[in-house]
C-alpha cells in the first residue's frame, strides 16, 4: 500500500499524512483542512452522478434497515414481556427467585441471572482480552512469517467449532482437568470470597470458573482475528519511522501499532463480550444450576440469561410463563446496550476514532 | 505451513466427497444392525397418503419414535416421518399451530386453552391423547460398594428434598437391612432444563411418597445441583461417588449407573421390562372413548406385587377428525405400525412394549381416526 | 519520513545512535516474553479443542457413507448412516443467510464510514449494530418465530432459519467491514477523487478492494459463527433425519441440530455422530476460509 501513497504525497497536503481514522476525527490539530470525503462532495455537488445517488441511497437504506430491525426486536421483547411483568409477584429486578411453573402465580426475579451472566462474561473477557492482544501482536509483529500464517489459521478455525462442541469439551475434557486447580484454589485461597467453596460440586466442574474459561476460549478467535487485521494494517511508514528513531521492538509496538489499532481492538473485544454475554448452548451444557443463590464465588453454579432461556424454551406452553423468560431476554438486550454505550464512550474518550 | 497444507487436503477431500455424493441417499437398509422382525400377528398397515409426516414433541420418546419410524418404513417403503424431539411444550404448541401432523407429549392436553386450541386445529373435532410410549424412569445412583439398593417413595422423597443427607441414614438402612452403606453425603443431581421426566418424577413422589414440594417441569426439591438434559445428569452421576438422580432407563443403562429397586409395599421390585409392563397393565384410563388419557395415580400408586411404579407415559396427540385425507391415511398407517411391529425394538431402547390389552385399545382408537 | 511528525510527542525517546538503556531493554524483553507467553498459553486450549474434535471425529468421517447418506430409518443405537442431510442443510442455510447478510452488512459499513459522517442516523446505526451483536441467538430465533410463524402464519422452514441467522451475521459483518474500511488510507480516496472518479466508483474500485482481505476474514468469521449456531435451527426448523432439499418447507437438518439431537442418544453411535458432525462443520468452514483466501488474493490490489 506504500507506492500509490508515496507517489501521491506531494499533491496532497503535508499534514494529512495520517491514516483515515485520525483524519476522520476533526480535532483541533487538523482544523484547517476539512475531512476529505465531505470536501470532495462539495466539489462534485454541481453534478451529482446518478450512480452516486443510487449507491448512497442503498447504503443509507441499509443503515435505516438495521435501526428498524433492532427497533422491531426491542418492541417485540417489550410487548411479550409486559403482560408477564405485570403478573410477577416478586420484584423483577431484585428477587433471586425463579418459579414460572404456575402461570397464575409467577414469581421471577433476575438478580441471580444478572450476576452470573456478568461474572461469566467478565471472567471470560478478563482472560481473553490480554491473551487475544498477545496472539494478535505475536502473529503480526513477532512471529516469523512462516509460523504466523498456519497459526493464524488455527485460531481462525476455532471460530468454526460450534458452541455445543465447546460445551461438551468443557464438560468432558476441561472440567476434569480443572478439578485439581479448583480444589487448590478453594483450599488455599478460599478466604477470598471469589474463591470460596461454592454451591455446586467442584468435581463435576459445573462452575462459573469452568464456564468462564470455556467462553474465553470461544471468544478468543473473534477478538484475535479482528485485532490481527487491524494491527497488520499499521502503516509501514510509522513502524519504519519508529525503528529509524531507534525504538526497540516493544517501543515500536507501543508507539505505532497499539495506538493505531486500539479502537479496532476495543471494538473486537466488545464483539467478544457481546458473544460472551449471549453465549447459550455451551454455558447451558457446562454450568450446573444450583438451588441456592449465587454467592459471588467462581465456584458457584447458576444460570445466565441465555442458558436459562435455552433450558426452558422447548417447554414453553403458556404465554405468561414464556413472557417471564422473554423479560429476562429483554434485560440481556438492555445489558448489551449499556456495555456498548460504555465501550463507545471509552473509545471516544481516546479520540483516535470517534 | 504443514497445518495449512493438511487443511487444504482435508478440504479437498471433503469437497470431492460431497461432489461424489452429490445425490445423497436416504437409503440405509443393511447399514443398521438388526431390522425389526415383523410380528407374527401383524395388523396390516394400509400405506399411502402424505409421504413425509412431521411430528414433534417430548424428547423422552425420541428413541421409541425412531423404532416406530423404522417399522413404518419397513411396512411402507416410500413413507417417512420426521420427529423433532424439541420438548413437550413445543410439541403441543406446534401441533396446535398446525405445524406438525401430531404432537408427542409427556402429559395429556390440559383442559382449557390447550384443549380448545387443539380442537380448533382439528377443525372443531376433539384431539385424542394416545399413550403409545412408556418409558420407565430409573432412580440411578453411584456409591462405591453398593450394588443393590432398595428405596420406597417416602425415602426417595426425603432424599430429593434434602431431609435425608447421608447414605447411611437410618431411613435408607431400614430398607436395606444387610447392605453396608457408607457414611457419605448424598449428592442429588436433577435436570436443569424443564422436562416431563422431572414433572412425572415429582408427581410420582406426590402420589406415593408424600412429596410436598410441588410438581411441574422445574425441579422443586431445593437440594442438589442441576445438569442439562438426561445425558448431562447421567454423566454427572457416573462421575461422582455418592450421587443419585432420576433419569430415563436407557441413560442409566448406557452410563452404567446402578438402579435402585422400588418397594411400593409389596416387596422390592427391580426395574425390568416385565415389572414395568405389569404396572401398565394395571393402569386405568380416565379419558372418554378413544381419548386414552391415563389416570397416572393408578400407576404411581400401584400396590401390585412385582409392578414397577415409576413410569413416564408419553402420548401422541392426534386429531380424531379434521386431517385431510392424505394426512389421515399416513398418520393411521404410522400409528398402526408403531403399535404393532414397532414395539419389538422398544426394550432394547430402554422402553416397555405395550401389553396386549393396551395395544388393542390403541389400535381401536387409531382405526377410528378419520 | 515526514509521517512520524504527525505525532511527535509520542516518541519521547532519546535520539538515535545511542546505546539502548537497560530499562528499555528490560521492558522490551518483558514485552516479548509476554507476547510469546500469551501466544503459548492461548495455543494450548485452541489446539486442545481441535485435537479433541479431530481425534474423536476423524474416524467417523472416513466412512464414505458419512458424506453420501442420511440417518433416515436408523435407530439411535444402530451404527451407520451419514450426515449428508445435515451437511446440505448447513450449507444451504448458511449460504442463503450469507447472500442476504453480506450485501446488507457491507452497505451498512459503507454508509457508516463513507457517507454517515457524524449524522444522527449514523450514530444510531452504529449503536444499533452494537446492540444486534449482543442479541442472544435464542432471542433472535424467538423474534423470527413470532413474526414469521405466529404473525405471518408461515410454516417452519430452512428459510426462517436463514432469516434468524441474518440477524446474527449482519452485525459481525458490519463491525469487521467498518474497521477495515476505516483503515484504508485517505490518500487512496483522495487520489481517486483527484482523477475525477465518482465517489461510488471510488468505493467499489478502490476502497473495498484495498480492504477486501479483511472484509473476507470478517465474513468468514461471521459465516463460521452462524453455521455453528444452534438455537435458531432448534426453534425454527425441525430436525429431520432424512434429506429435504426444499428450502421453503418442511423440517431440515443441519449439523448443529444433528449434534443437539444426538446428545439425546446415549449410545456409541450417538457419540460418533456428534463428533463426526463437529469435525465436518470445521472442515466445511475450513473450505470456505480457503476459498476466501484464494479469492481475496486474486482480487486484492498488489500492494506488498
Q: What is the pLDDT of residues C254-279, one digit of tens each?
A: 898 888 888 877 788 888 898 999 89
- Inform me whether the pLDDT recorded for B118 exceeds 80: yes
Q: B305 by DSSP, 3-state: which?
A: coil
- Inform me whether the pLDDT recorded for C188 exceeds 70: yes
pLDDT of residue B22: 54
Provide CB contacts within 8 A for C132, sequence distance 6+. Answer: A66, A69, A70, C167, C170, C171
Report chain A residues whose CB lies below 8 A from the CB of B86. 314
Report chain A residues whose CB lies below 8 A from the CB of B236. 204, 206, 288
Q: How many Å apart are CA A183 and CA A168, to the nearest integer?
A: 22
Q: How many Å apart are CA C66 and CA C70, to the nearest integer?
A: 8
Chains with 3 or more CB pairs under 8 A to chain A: B, C
Are C75 and B66 a contacting pair at CB < 8 A?
yes
Which of C62, C73, C246 should be substituted to probe chain B, the one whose Cβ sees the most B Cβ atoms within 10 Å? C73
Q: What is the pLDDT of residues B73-104, one digit of tens each?
A: 888 888 888 888 878 888 888 899 888 999 99
Selection from A348-352, B105-109, C73-77 with the highest mean pLDDT: B105-109
Backbone φ and ψ of C121, nearest 5°: -60, -40
Q: How many Å apart are CA A342 and CA A334, to the nearest integer?
A: 12
Are B228 and A284 a contacting pair at CB < 8 A?
yes
CB of A185 closer than 8 Å to CB of A213? no
pLDDT of residue C109: 92
pLDDT of residue B259: 94
Report chain C residues whose CB lies below 8 A from the CB of B106. none
Which set of grid coordinates corresponds to residue A101?
A: 411453573
Which of A160, A262, A284 should be substituted to probe chain C, the one whose Cβ sees the most C Cβ atoms within 10 Å? A160
A28 to chain C, closest Cα gap in Å: 13
- Inform me whether the pLDDT recorded for B145 exceeds 80: yes
Q: What is the pLDDT of residues C90-142, one digit of tens each?
A: 999 999 999 999 999 999 999 999 888 788 888 888 888 877 877 778 778 88
Note the helical H segments in chain C: 22-61, 64-68, 84-110, 120-134, 137-144, 158-182, 186-194, 199-202, 208-227, 231-236, 255-262, 268-299
Label residue A11 by pLDDT band (50, 70, 90): very low
Label residue B245 by pLDDT band (50, 70, 90): very high
Place of cell 470478517: C218
Looking at residues C196-207, what average pLDDT do you find? Answer: 89
Are A36 and C134 a contacting pair at CB < 8 A?
no
Q: How many Cβ atoms sit within 10 Å of the Cβ of residue B248?
A: 27
CB of C69 closer than 8 Å to CB of B24? yes
Which of C66, C266, C276, C288 should be substituted to probe chain B, the one whose Cβ sees the most B Cβ atoms within 10 Å? C266
Are B225 and A102 a contacting pair at CB < 8 A?
no
Backbone φ and ψ of B318, nearest 5°: -130, 160
Report chain A residues whose CB lies below 8 A from the CB of C278. 161-162, 165
CB of A308 closer than 8 Å to CB of A98? yes
- Rounded to 5°, the CA angle A107-A111-A115 comes to 145
The contact set of B with A (CB < 8 A) is 1-4, 7, 59, 86-90, 92-93, 114, 187, 192-195, 214-218, 220-228, 232, 235-236, 239-240
Q: What is the pLDDT of residues A49-72, one digit of tens each?
A: 788 888 888 888 888 988 898 888
Q: How many Å apart are CA C65 and CA C80, to the nearest integer?
A: 7
**Nearest C-alpha neighbor of B331 from the set B13, B18, B50:** B50
Are A315 and B217 a contacting pair at CB < 8 A?
yes
CB contact A157 to B (< 8 Å): yes
**Nearest C-alpha neighbor of B35 from the set C78, C157, A124, A167:** C78
Higher pLDDT among residues A122 and C243, named by residue: A122
pLDDT above 70 covers a percentage of chain C that reads 91
Are C230 and A281 a contacting pair at CB < 8 A?
yes
**Nearest C-alpha neighbor of A94 from the set A104, A82, A107, A83:** A107
Q: How many Å apart are CA A217 and CA A210, to the nearest integer?
A: 11
Are A285 and B232 a contacting pair at CB < 8 A?
yes
Report chain B residues whose CB lies below 8 A from the CB of C238. 54, 56, 82, 84, 86, 94, 100
Q: How many Å apart are CA B20 and CA C64, to the nearest integer?
A: 10
Are A289 and B225 a contacting pair at CB < 8 A?
yes
Are A310 and C231 a contacting pair at CB < 8 A?
yes
Q: What is the pLDDT of residues B156-188, one digit of tens each?
A: 999 999 999 999 999 999 898 877 889 999 999
Are C84 and B348 a contacting pair at CB < 8 A?
no
Residue B319 belongs to what H/E stretch?
Answer: strand B311-319
Q: What is the pLDDT of residues B266-323, one digit of tens each?
A: 888 999 988 998 888 888 888 888 888 988 888 898 888 889 999 988 999 999 988 9
Q: How far apart are the first and last CA of chain B?
A: 66
Handedness of CA C279, C284, C285, C290 (dihedral sign): positive
Report chain A residues whose CB lies below 8 A from the CB of C138. 280, 306, 309-310, 313, 329
Are A290 and B88 a contacting pair at CB < 8 A?
no
pLDDT of residue B151: 92
Q: What is the largest CA-CA distance in chain B?
A: 71
Report chain C residues whose CB lies below 8 A from the CB of A244. 1, 16
Report chain C residues whose CB lies below 8 A from the CB of B54. 238, 250-251
Place of cell 504466523: A148
Which set of grid coordinates corresponds to residue A327?
A: 423479560
Label residue B16 by pLDDT band (50, 70, 90): very low
Complex-level ipTM beyond the 0.90 threshold: no
Are B226 and A289 a contacting pair at CB < 8 A?
yes
Q: Which among B24, B66, B84 has the least Cβ separation from residue C238?
A: B84
- Rounded to 5°, the CA angle B106-A312-A167 comes to 110
- The torsion region of residue A9 among left (phi > 0), alpha (psi -120 to 50) and beta comes to alpha
Are C70 and B29 a contacting pair at CB < 8 A?
no
- Rounded to 5°, the CA angle B197-B198-B200 comes to 65
Place of cell 432398595: B150
Are B8 and C290 a contacting pair at CB < 8 A?
yes
pLDDT of residue C235: 72
Place of cell 411444550: B89
The DSSP secondary-structure symbol of B166 reads B
Q: How many Å apart are CA A263 and CA A347, to the nearest integer?
A: 6
Q: Which among C72, C150, C239 has the least Cβ separation from residue B28?
A: C72
Q: Which among A176, A200, A317 has the least Cβ separation from residue B89?
A: A317
Beta strands at B80-84 and B102-105: parallel, antiparallel or unpaired: unpaired
Beta strands at A289-290 and B225-227: parallel, antiparallel or unpaired: antiparallel
CB pairs under 8 A between B and C: 150
**Nearest C-alpha neighbor of B18 from the set B27, B10, B28, B6:** B10
Note the helical H segments in A233-291: 236-244, 249-252, 258-278, 281-286
- Inform me whether the pLDDT recorded for A28 exceeds 50: no
Q: What is the pLDDT of residues A283-308, one digit of tens each?
A: 989 999 888 888 888 888 888 988 88
Residue B54 belongs to what H/E stretch?
Answer: strand B52-57
Selection from A182-196, C3-17, C69-83 with the highest mean pLDDT: A182-196
Kindly report the three-state secondary structure assignment for every residue of C261-274: HHCCCCCHHHHHHH
Are A204 and B225 a contacting pair at CB < 8 A?
yes
Q: How many Å apart are CA B271 and CA B264, to the nearest integer?
A: 13
- Inform me whether the pLDDT recorded for B38 exceeds 80: no
Are B89 and A201 a contacting pair at CB < 8 A?
no
Report chain A residues whose CB lies below 8 A from the CB of B7. 153, 157
pLDDT of residue C5: 45
Give this prediction's pTM.
0.81
Q: B137: which strand partners?
A: B248
Read out DSSP for B350-361? T-BPPPHHHHHH
Q: B82: which strand partners?
A: B54
Q: Which among C65, C155, C242 has the least Cβ separation from residue B82?
A: C242
Report chain A residues whose CB lies below 8 A from the CB of C38. 130-131, 133-135, 138
Provide CB contacts within 8 A for B205, sequence distance 6+. Answer: B153, B156, B157, B160, B211
Q: How many Å apart are CA A137 and CA A116, to the nearest integer?
A: 32
Q: How many Å apart are CA A156 and CA C236, to the nearest integer?
A: 28
Are C133 and A271 a contacting pair at CB < 8 A?
yes
The DSSP secondary-structure symbol of A32 reads T
CB contact A314 to B (< 8 Å): yes
Which set of grid coordinates corresponds to residue B50?
A: 402424505
Torsion of CA B292, B297, B299, B301, to 10 degrees: -170
Report chain C residues whose CB lies below 8 A from the CB of B14. 67, 280, 283-284, 287
Q: How many Å apart are CA C230 and CA A38, to the nearest integer?
A: 44
Are C73 and B28 a contacting pair at CB < 8 A?
yes
Amino acid at each position: 500500500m506504500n507506492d500509490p501513497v508515496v507517489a501521491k504525497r506531494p499533491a496532497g497536503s503535508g499534514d494529512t499524512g495520517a491514516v483515515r481514522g485520525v483524519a476522520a476525527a476533526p480535532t483541533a490539530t487538523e482544523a484547517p483542512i476539512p475531512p476529505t470525503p465531505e470536501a470532495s462532495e462539495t466539489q462534485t455537488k454541481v453534478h451529482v452522478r446518478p450512480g452516486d445517488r443510487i449507491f448512497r441511497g442503498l447504503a443509507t437504506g441499509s443503515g435505516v434497515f438495521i435501526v428498524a430491525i433492532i427497533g422491531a426486536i426491542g418492541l417485540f421483547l417489550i410487548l411479550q414481556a409486559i403482560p408477564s411483568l405485570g403478573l410477577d409477584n416478586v420484584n423483577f429486578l431484585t428477587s433471586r427467585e425463579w418459579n414460572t411453573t404456575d402461570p397464575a402465580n409467577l414469581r421471577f426475579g433476575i438478580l441471580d441471572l444478572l450476576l452470573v451472566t456478568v461474572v461469566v462474561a467478565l471472567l471470560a473477557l478478563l482472560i481473553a482480552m490480554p491473551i487475544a492482544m498477545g496472539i494478535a501482536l505475536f502473529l503480526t509483529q513477532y512471529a516469523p512469517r512462516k509460523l504466523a500464517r498456519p497459526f493464524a489459521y488455527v485460531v481462525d478455525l476455532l471460530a468454526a467449532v460450534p458452541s455445543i462442541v465447546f460445551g461438551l469439551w468443557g464438560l468432558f475434557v476441561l472440567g476434569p482437568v480443572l478439578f485439581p486447580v479448583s480444589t487448590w484454589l478453594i483450599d488455599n485461597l478460599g478466604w477470598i470470597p471469589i474463591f470460596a467453596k461454592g454451591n455446586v460440586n467442584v468435581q463435576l466442574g459445573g462452575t462459573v470458573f469452568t464456564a468462564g474459561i470455556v467462553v474465553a476460549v470461544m471468544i478468543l478467535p473473534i477478538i484475535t482475528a479482528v485485532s490481527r487485521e487491524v494491527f497488520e494494517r499499521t502503516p509501514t511508514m510509522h513502524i519504519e519511522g519508529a525503528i529509524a528513531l531507534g525504538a526497540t521492538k516493544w517501543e515500536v509496538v507501543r508507539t505505532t501499532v497499539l495506538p493505531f489499532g486500539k479502537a479496532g481492538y476495543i471494538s473486537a473485544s466488545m464483539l467478544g463480550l457481546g458473544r460472551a454475554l449471549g453465549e447459550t448452548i455451551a454455558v447451558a451444557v457446562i454450568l450446573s444450576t444450583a438451588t441456592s443463590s449465587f454467592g459471588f464465588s467462581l465456584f458457584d453454579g447458576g444460570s445466565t440469561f441465555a442458558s436459562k432461556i435455552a433450558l426452558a424454551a422447548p417447554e414453553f406452553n403458556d404465554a405468561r410463563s414464556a413472557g417471564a423468560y422473554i423479560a429476562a431476554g429483554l434485560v440481556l438486550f438492555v445489558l448489551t446496550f449499556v456495555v456498548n454505550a460504555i465501550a463507545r464512550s471509552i473509545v471516544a474518550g481516546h479520540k483516535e476514532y470517534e | 505451513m504443514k497445518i495449512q497444507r493438511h487443511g487444504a487436503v482435508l478440504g479437498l477431500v471433503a469437497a470431492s466427497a460431497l461432489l461424489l455424493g452429490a445425490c445423497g441417499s436416504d437409503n440405509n437398509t443393511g447399514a443398521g444392525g438388526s431390522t425389526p422382525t415383523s410380528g407374527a400377528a401383524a395388523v396390516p398397515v394400509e400405506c399411502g397418503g402424505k409421504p413425509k409426516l412431521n411430528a414433534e414433541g417430548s424428547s423422552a420418546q425420541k428413541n421409541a419414535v425412531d423404532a416406530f419410524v423404522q417399522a413404518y418404513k419397513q411396512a411402507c417403503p416410500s413413507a417417512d416421518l420426521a420427529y423433532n424431539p424439541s420438548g413437550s411444550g413445543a410439541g403441543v404448541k406446534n401441533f396446535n399451530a398446525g405445524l406438525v401432523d401430531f404432537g408427542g407429549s409427556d402429559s395429556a392436553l390440559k383442559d382449557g386453552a390447550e384443549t380448545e386450541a387443539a380442537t380448533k386445529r382439528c377443525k372443531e373435532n376433539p384431539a385424542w391423547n394416545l399413550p403409545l410410549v412408556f418409558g420407565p424412569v430409573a432412580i440411578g445412583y453411584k456409591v462405591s460398594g453398593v450394588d443393590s439398593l432398595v428405596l420406597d417413595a417416602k425415602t426417595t422423597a426425603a432424599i430429593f428434598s434434602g431431609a435425608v443427607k447421608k447414605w447411611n441414614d437410618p431411613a435408607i438402612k431400614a430398607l436395606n437391612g444387610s447392605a453396608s452403606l457408607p457414611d457419605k453425603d448424598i449428592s442429588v443431581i436433577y435436570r436443569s432444563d424443564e422436562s416431563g421426566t422431572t414433572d412425572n418424577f415429582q408427581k410420582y413422589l406426590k402420589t406415593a411418597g408424600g412429596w410436598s414440594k410441588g410438581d411441574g417441569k422445574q425441579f422443586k426439591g431445593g437440594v442438589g445441583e442441576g445438569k442439562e438434559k438426561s445425558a448431562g445428569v447421567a454423566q454427572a452421576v457416573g462421575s461422582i461417588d455418592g450421587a443419585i438422580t432420576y433419569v430415563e432407563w436407557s441413560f442409566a443403562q448406557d452410563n452404567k449407573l446402578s438402579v435402585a429397586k422400588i418397594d411400593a409395599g409389596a416387596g422390592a421390585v427391580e426395574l425390568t421390562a416385565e415389572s414395568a409392563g405389569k404396572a401398565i397393565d394395571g393402569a386405568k384410563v380416565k379419558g372418554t372413548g378413544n381419548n386414552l388419557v391415563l389416570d397416572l395415580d393408578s400407576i404411581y400408586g400401584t400396590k401390585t406385587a412385582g409392578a414397577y411404579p415409576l413410569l413416564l407415559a408419553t402420548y401422541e396427540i392426534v386429531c380424531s377428525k379434521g386431517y385431510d385425507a392424505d394426512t389421515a391415511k399416513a398418520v393411521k398407517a404410522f400409528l398402526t405400525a408403531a403399535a404393532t411391529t414397532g414395539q419389538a425394538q422398544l426394550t432394547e431402547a430402554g422402553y416397555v412394549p405395550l401389553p396386549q390389552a393396551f395395544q388393542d385399545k390403541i389400535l381401536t382408537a387409531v382405526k377410528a381416526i378419520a | 519520513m515526514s509521517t512520524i511528525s504527525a505525532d511527535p510527542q509520542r516518541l519521547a525517546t532519546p535520539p538515535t545512535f545511542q546505546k539502548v538503556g537497560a530499562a528499555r531493554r528490560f521492558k522490551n524483553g518483558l514485552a516479548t516474553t509476554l507476547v510469546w507467553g500469551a501466544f503459548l498459553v492461548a495455543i494450548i486450549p485452541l489446539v486442545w479443542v481441535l485435537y479433541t474434535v479431530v481425534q474423536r471425529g476423524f474416524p467417523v468421517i472416513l466412512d464414505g457413507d458419512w458424506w453420501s447418506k442420511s440417518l433416515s430409518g436408523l435407530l439411535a443405537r444402530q451404527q451407520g448412516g451419514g450426515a449428508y442431510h445435515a451437511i446440505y442443510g448447513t450449507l444451504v442455510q448458511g449460504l442463503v443467510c450469507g447472500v442476504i447478510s453480506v450485501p446488507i452488512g457491507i452497505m451498512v459499513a459503507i454508509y457508516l464510514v463513507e457517507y454517515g459522517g457524524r449524522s444522527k442516523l449514523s450514530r444510531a446505526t452504529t449503536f444499533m449494530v452494537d446492540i444486534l451483536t449482543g442479541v442472544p441467538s435464542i432471542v433472535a430465533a424467538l423474534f423470527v418465530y413470532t413474526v414469521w410463524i405466529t404473525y405471518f402464519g408461515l410454516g417452519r422452514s430452512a428459510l426462517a432459519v436463514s432469516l434468524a441467522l441474518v440477524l446474527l451475521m449482519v452485525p459481525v459483518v458490519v463491525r469487521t467491514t467498518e474497521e477495515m474500511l476505516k483503515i484504508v488510507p485517505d490518500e487512496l480516496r483522495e487520489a481517486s477523487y483527484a482523477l475525477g472518479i465518482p465517489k461510488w466508483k471510488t468505493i467499489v474500485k478502490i476502497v473495498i478492494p484495498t480492504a477486501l482481505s479483511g472484509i473476507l476474514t470478517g465474513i468468514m468469521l461471521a459465516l463460521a459463527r452462524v453455521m455453528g449456531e444452534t438455537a435458531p435451527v432448534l426453534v425454527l426448523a425441525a430436525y429431520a433425519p432424512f434429506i429435504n432439499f426444499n428450502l421453503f418447507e418442511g423440517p431440515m437438518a443441519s449439523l448443529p441440530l444433528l449434534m443437539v439431537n444426538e446428545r439425546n442418544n446415549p449410545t456409541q453411535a450417538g457419540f460418533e455422530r456428534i463428533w463426526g458432525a463437529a469435525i465436518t462443520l470445521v472442515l466445511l468452514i475450513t473450505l470456505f476460509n480457503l476459498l476466501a483466501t484464494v479469492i481475496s488474493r486474486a482480487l486484492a490490489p498488489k500492494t506488498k
